[in-house]
Amino acid sequence: MSNFENVSVARAGNSYFDGAVTSRTLIFADGTVKTLGIMQIGEYEFGTSQDELMEITSGELQVKLPDSSVWRTIKGGDSFEVPVNAKFQVRVKELTDYCCSYS
């Protein structure tokens, strides 16, 4: 899906790692929340408070998911899931655009 319809957008943005990762929160009429963001080249570790589906819309990164020692390459059009209360690492290879859905 390239467009979202009938959403509210939080005015305040989210900024992590000194602005190297930023996002905006979208709230849908049914209460569903997604974030749309951009990650600059670099290495980052994130923690989850909910189950997450991260869809990469453009760019390329490598991800090391919880309980794994393997780095997986993820490119635009690919996605990965991370369980609640977990940490995962990414190595962003080029400017990467993403959509994160929560459940």
The model's pTM = 0.91
Which of 99, 96, 22, 100 lies closest to 59, judged by CA?
96
Query: What is the C-alpha to C-alpha distance for residues 27 and 72, in angstroms, rounded to an integer?
Result: 30
Give the pairing type, strands 21-28 and 52-64: unpaired
8 A C-beta contact, residue 100 and residue 25:
no
pLDDT in tens, the chain (103 residues): 578 988 999 999 999 999 999 999 999 999 999 999 999 999 999 999 999 999 999 999 999 999 899 999 999 999 999 999 999 999 999 999 999 999 8
Question: What is the per-residue pLDDT for 103?
Answer: 85
Instruction: Identify the CATH homologous superfamily for domain 7-102.
Output: Jelly Rolls (2.60.120.10)
Which of 65, 54, 67, 70 lies closest to 21, judged by CA?
54
Question: What is the per-residue pLDDT for 1?
Answer: 54
8 A C-beta contact, residue 31 and residue 45:
no
